[in-house]
A and B are shown apart, each in its own frame.
Chain A
Amino acid sequence: MSARTHPPVDVVTVGGGWTAAILASKLCPQGRTMVSLEQGASRWTYPEYAHDHDSLRYSGRYAMMVNLRQETWTWRPHPRVTALPMRQYGSFNPGQGLGGSGVHWSGQLWRFMPTDFVRRTHVTERYGAKRIPADMTLQDWGVTYDELEPYYDQFEWDIGAGGAAGNVGGRILPGGNPFEGPRSRGYPNPPLVVTPYGQMFADACTDLGLHPFTQPTGILSRGWIDPHGNARSGCLYCGFCTRFGCEVDAKSSPQNTHLPVALDTGRYEVRLGCKVTRIEVDDRGRATGLTYVDAEGREHFQPARVVVASAFTLENTRILLLSRSRAHPNGVGNDRGRVGRNYTYQIYPAPVTGVFQGRKLNMFMGNTCTIKVIYDYNGDNFDHSDLDFIGGSQLYSEPCEREPFNSVDGLTTRDGKAWGAAWKEELRRNWDSHASILTEGESNPYEDQFLDLDPNYTDRFGNPLLRIAFDWHPNEQRMWRYLAARAREIMARMNPSRIVRTMPELGRYNIHDYQSTHPTGGCVMGTDPGTSVTNTHGQVWDTPNVFVTGAALFPQNAGANPTGTIGALTYRTAQAMDDRYFDDPGELLS
């Protein structure tokens, strides 16, 4: 079958998700032409989300996610055993369709802390190099918080972020996160309101001398017209948020932020129903464009001057590995065998769940941002000198938007059952009177934790699936023990009538429990091609007209959701491309 070749464009991207939309919104107004090849369908706020409060369809059947009937990812705890496919959704839920995961995300919006970007240097200077386990491949990012700050700021103001600033220009402000890096100005909008349980959590933390604040959010807390003229409504607190599209554009998504800007130029096209299968490379080792298969099974070739892998962490890594050529026999970016390295994730479970009989908590209203958080035990905000681990985690009150069909078994009877007459009584009394404290913890990279291609399982085109080797290591297990104890202290302070469950030990990773869609690493950035795949602009060292966007670039994962940092990095890349790349195409950006 001969591929149909399209007219060339300046930039072609794998996927039409959030980072692709950001690039298009910056490059197309400057005259660049760009095509995104997106495997999923079109969807817009109206009419697609007008009537979507259907828990079974969206949360139960994953209507917005990558279609697992066609492909998945395989997993094994370590490289010494066989991997099996994640046959049904579990650990993470990458999105599919126009806007990618940026449509069904939760909206928890963070900046990473200044020390996160210099992890290796910071730990070494404060505690000595010996504190880093020999197999822990901790790295500095090569870009600092100060360099990224202007881009964080732009991203937050473009999407109308909500929150209380904790540190403006070094001045610590009440009500915000006192541990955050200095920001050049506050948030454009106030935070969302907090549900009763969030307030109980905050009161307990304050009593204990900790510093609670409201979750910063990418969901509008009031009506907002952004700098590009997008008019959006404030949050309705409807309780159908993560895994749903927002019917009033209150939750920021590419559709109500960057896509309109890009599409209005007439120079951006998202070609839907198109599955990219490989990056084509010429004999000089430069990318020439993308090969893809359309919805009817026909093969196409889209030539471009620049190719961007913007298909989410896992597929970005896979597409580089699948793109073998004479010039790059092990795949694009992999001349030194570094693709797949430093795969990390997020520590996410709930260390403790309590019942507060007689108190209604409104857990089914609002969203994941109508909560309170503490950063006192995140990163290096607490002294690790006498502790047996490095790293930390947020602790926060359980997110709201609770849906009953998938949550009733979270409330068990005293003898651990989620069925029978006694359980029914428990549900009647306490379905909305129980809640957890959750973690969002750092994940460190290890030599035996990486991504490669699976030898046994393929997608519908016969291409190998991506294989993940990942499990918790002793440092993280010790960190969990410490954090779980802190969470129990806070829970005790809230005075629950009963503890439903505690999780004193982290144990082992499994692929079947949802634990955040924050897989990170695999194509990590850096300043040394010996330990990274790209420079700090996401530009691939050995194929400099290929760029990678998104969390695949993170050398390791911090104790926070990724999209704020992904947005800032993508803005920075767009600016470098626009300023310098096209004048001197194919040269490495400094």
Chain B
Amino acid sequence: MTDDRALTRRRLLQLAGGTAVAVGLAGCGSGDRTASPEVRVSTDVDAVAWPPLPPGTPPQCNVHRFFTTAEAAVVDALVARIIPGDARDPGAREACVPAYIDDKLARFPSFATPTYFQPPFAKPVTTGPVPPDQRDAETILVDAADAHLYGFQADLTPQESWRKGIAALQAYCRRRHGRPFEHMAPARQDALLDRFQALKDASDHGAPVPTAHADLDAAFAGPSASGFFGMVLEDTYEGMFADPAYGGNKGMAGWLLIGYPGAQRAYTPDEVLTPGTDRPPQSLGQMPHMHPGMPEGDAMLPMAGTLRTGTRR
């Protein structure tokens, strides 16, 4: 049986010398110890949590660890306009998306997604193409018209981007609208987000900043207005539509909205051929045990900090 073979092989690996995970035998005497990658020493601040696992204890909906109370109010107001809702038809606020974002930022002092964060960082210039050998000590100069082709190049961590972005937003709203974002009327909030969208559209295509929105663009020194807006959108999507094991998507509100059945173990060929499904959505931990007859412990759903068994249906 496949499983027996796999296990035998795995046992064999573990026996190959203490922490060694070397496979195979010949040419490799018993003193030939290879260190397990699991014990790799790293200076990376996030190494313990990478690759990220669902938090051992999901965050509570209204408790924040990274954001200040004032910041949390802005995040709450922002995500409530990205995916609006109410008690009957939940949106991002009702699905605990702010708690998801706060937990992600609190758990990752640096990046949740693997990121090469070594200098030099890029500085866009508007003087045209920059030859390869031309750079100053700290930065690499790139043609601003091409900057959008290179993807993420910021020298800020997500924590810094959220914190500085919220401060810039609030300063702009106070100056321009006489009140902080969370106290603006929803229609006004939407109109402002439309302006962020216009800046993002321009930036995504390497187009110049539309003059009508130049003041909003200028209000953000780092992150950029379009970069901030893009980050708010992405974190909201994650919080609303990723597995509830991560703390957002409460009550599977996001999945119920779009008709996604979540982490299913299998579909039959007939189900694939027949349009639509009426399976209720389920989370990772609700999947049935995959390998009956194998030790339960080995097939547990991994969670950061603790190991928790996936519950059988």
A binding-site residues for B, Cβ under 8 Å: 6-9, 33, 35, 40-42, 44-47, 50-51, 53-57, 60-63, 65, 67-72, 75-77, 79-90, 98, 193-196, 230-233, 236-240, 247-249, 255-256, 260, 262-263, 266-274, 294-297, 359-362, 364-366, 370, 404-406, 408-409, 416-421, 423-424, 427-428, 431-432, 455-458, 508-512
With A53-B263, A54-B243 as contacts: A295 and B36 at CB distance below 8 Å: yes
Are B152 and A50 in contact, CB atoms less than 8 angstroms apart?
Answer: no
| Cα-based distance from A508 to B150 in the complex (angstroms) | 11
Closest chain A CB from B4 CB (angstroms) = 10
Contacts of A268 in B (CB 8 A): 23-24, 26
B5 interfacial contact with A, CB 8 Å: yes
Are B258 and A60 in contact, CB atoms less than 8 angstroms apart?
Answer: no
Are A236 and B260 in contact, CB atoms less than 8 angstroms apart?
Answer: no
Contacts of A428 in B (CB 8 A): 257-258
Contacts of A509 in B (CB 8 A): 149
Q: Which of B27, B46, B255, B301 has the most CB atoms of chain A within a 10 A radius of its CB?
A: B27
> Which listed residue, B116, B238, B264, touches A60 by the CB 8 Å rule?
B238
Interface contacts (Cβ under 8 Å), in number, total 338
Looking across the interface, which residue of chain B has its beta carbon closest to that of A232? B2
Closest chain A CB from B287 CB (angstroms) = 6
- From 178 to 226 in chain B, residues with beta carbon under 8 angstroms from any chain A beta carbon are 190, 193, 197, 201
> Which listed residue, A193, A239, A266, touches B273 by the CB 8 Å rule?
A193
Are B116 and A366 in contact, CB atoms less than 8 angstroms apart?
Answer: no
Contacts of A362 in B (CB 8 A): 271-272, 274-277
| Cα-based distance from A458 to B118 in the complex (angstroms) | 9
Q: What 4 A-B pairs have minimum CB-CB distances, sorted nearest first?
A: A512-B151, A269-B24, A63-B51, A360-B276
Contacts of A361 in B (CB 8 A): 275
Determine the main DSSP class of B at the interface with A. loop
Contacts of A53 in B (CB 8 A): 263-265, 284, 287
Contacts of A409 in B (CB 8 A): 233, 237
A–B complex contacts, Cβ < 8 Å, 15 sampled: A41-B37, A46-B3, A53-B287, A56-B238, A81-B129, A82-B130, A193-B273, A237-B272, A262-B24, A267-B25, A274-B34, A365-B271, A404-B260, A419-B236, A420-B84
Closest chain A CB from B147 CB (angstroms) = 9
Contacts of A359 in B (CB 8 A): 275
Are B290 and A247 in contact, CB atoms less than 8 angstroms apart?
Answer: yes
| Cα-based distance from A271 to B26 in the complex (angstroms) | 12
Looking across the interface, which residue of chain B has its beta carbon closest to that of A255? B6
| Cα-based distance from A67 to B233 in the complex (angstroms) | 25
Are B142 and A33 in contact, CB atoms less than 8 angstroms apart?
Answer: no
> Which listed residue, A75, A238, A271, touches B265 by the CB 8 Å rule?
A238
Contacts of A420 in B (CB 8 A): 81-82, 84, 190, 193
Are B143 and A270 in contact, CB atoms less than 8 angstroms apart?
Answer: no
Contacts of B242 in A (CB 8 A): 55-56, 60, 405
| Cα-based distance from A119 to B116 in the complex (angstroms) | 38
Looking across the interface, which residue of chain B has its beta carbon closest to that of A10? B27
> Which listed residue, B37, B84, B277, touches A424 by the CB 8 Å rule?
B84
| Cα-based distance from A88 to B132 in the complex (angstroms) | 22
> Which listed residue, B21, B142, B261, touches A84 by the CB 8 Å rule?
B142
Closest chain B CB from A174 CB (angstroms) = 20
Are A295 and B143 in contact, CB atoms less than 8 angstroms apart?
Answer: no
Q: Which of B60-68, B69-77, B159-167, B291-299 contacts A (4 or more CB under 8 A)?
A: B291-299
> Which listed residue, B21, B25, B135, B237, touches A456 by the CB 8 Å rule?
B135
Are B267 and A419 in contact, CB atoms less than 8 angstroms apart?
Answer: no
Given contacts A193-B269, A512-B151, 12 further A-B contacts (CB under 8 A): A9-B26, A47-B299, A53-B264, A57-B52, A236-B266, A273-B21, A274-B34, A365-B272, A404-B258, A405-B241, A420-B193, A456-B120
Are B23 and A270 in contact, CB atoms less than 8 angstroms apart?
Answer: yes
Looking across the interface, which residue of chain A has its beta carbon closest to that of B309? A51
B30 interfacial contact with A, CB 8 Å: no
Contacts of B26 in A (CB 8 A): 9, 33, 266-269
Looking across the interface, which residue of chain B has its beta carbon closest to that of A419? B82
Are A256 and B261 in contact, CB atoms less than 8 angstroms apart?
Answer: no
Count how many chain B residues have C-beta atoms less than 8 Å from C-beta atoms of the other chain. 115
Are A366 and B258 in contact, CB atoms less than 8 angstroms apart?
Answer: no
| Cα-based distance from A365 to B277 in the complex (angstroms) | 10
With A47-B298, A266-B26 as contacts: A69 and B114 at CB distance below 8 Å: yes
Are A196 and B151 in contact, CB atoms less than 8 angstroms apart?
Answer: no
Contacts of B263 in A (CB 8 A): 53-54, 240
| Cα-based distance from A420 to B197 in the complex (angstroms) | 12
Closest chain A CB from B247 CB (angstroms) = 11
B144 interfacial contact with A, CB 8 Å: no
B251 interfacial contact with A, CB 8 Å: no
- From 9 to 46 in chain B, residues with beta carbon under 8 angstroms from any chain A beta carbon are 9-10, 13, 21-29, 32, 34-41, 44, 46
With A256-B2, A273-B40 as contacts: A424 and B238 at CB distance below 8 Å: no
> Which listed residue, A84, A88, A249, A455, touches B2 by the CB 8 Å rule?
A249
| Cα-based distance from A83 to B130 in the complex (angstroms) | 10
Contacts of B36 in A (CB 8 A): 41, 272-273, 295
B140 interfacial contact with A, CB 8 Å: yes
| Cα-based distance from A295 to B114 in the complex (angstroms) | 19
| Cα-based distance from A87 to B120 in the complex (angstroms) | 12
Looking across the interface, which residue of chain A has its beta carbon closest to that of B294? A46
| Cα-based distance from A295 to B120 in the complex (angstroms) | 27
Closest chain A CB from B37 CB (angstroms) = 4
Are B140 and A82 in contact, CB atoms less than 8 angstroms apart?
Answer: yes
B122 interfacial contact with A, CB 8 Å: yes
| Cα-based distance from A40 to B142 in the complex (angstroms) | 34
Are A511 and B140 in contact, CB atoms less than 8 angstroms apart?
Answer: no
Binary A-proximity of B93-113 (CB < 8 A = 1, otherwise 0): 000000000000000000111
Contacts of A274 in B (CB 8 A): 34
Closest chain A CB from B282 CB (angstroms) = 10
| Cα-based distance from A458 to B116 in the complex (angstroms) | 10
Closest chain B CB from A291 CB (angstroms) = 15
Looking across the interface, which residue of chain A has its beta carbon closest to that of B1? A231
Closest chain B CB from A390 CB (angstroms) = 26
B57 interfacial contact with A, CB 8 Å: no
| Cα-based distance from A57 to B152 in the complex (angstroms) | 20
Contacts of B306 in A (CB 8 A): none
Are B22 and A231 in contact, CB atoms less than 8 angstroms apart?
Answer: no
Closest chain A CB from B7 CB (angstroms) = 7
Are B299 and A404 in contact, CB atoms less than 8 angstroms apart?
Answer: no
B115 interfacial contact with A, CB 8 Å: yes
Are B23 and A365 in contact, CB atoms less than 8 angstroms apart?
Answer: no
Closest chain A CB from B110 CB (angstroms) = 9
Are B267 and A88 in contact, CB atoms less than 8 angstroms apart?
Answer: no
B127 interfacial contact with A, CB 8 Å: no
> Which listed residue, B91, B152, B299, touches A87 by the CB 8 Å rule?
B152
Contacts of B25 in A (CB 8 A): 266-267, 269
With A295-B35, A456-B135 as contacts: A366 and B267 at CB distance below 8 Å: yes
Closest chain A CB from B60 CB (angstroms) = 19
Contacts of B258 in A (CB 8 A): 404, 408, 427-428, 431-432
B254 interfacial contact with A, CB 8 Å: yes
| Cα-based distance from A79 to B294 in the complex (angstroms) | 55
Q: Which of B53, B85, B238, B260 has the most CB atoms of chain A within a 10 A radius of its CB?
A: B260
Looking across the interface, which residue of chain A has its beta carbon closest to that of B33? A294
Contacts of B13 in A (CB 8 A): 42
Are B7 and A56 in contact, CB atoms less than 8 angstroms apart?
Answer: no
Binary A-proximity of B225-253 (CB < 8 A = 1, otherwise 0): 00000000100111011110110000000
Are A271 and B151 in contact, CB atoms less than 8 angstroms apart?
Answer: no
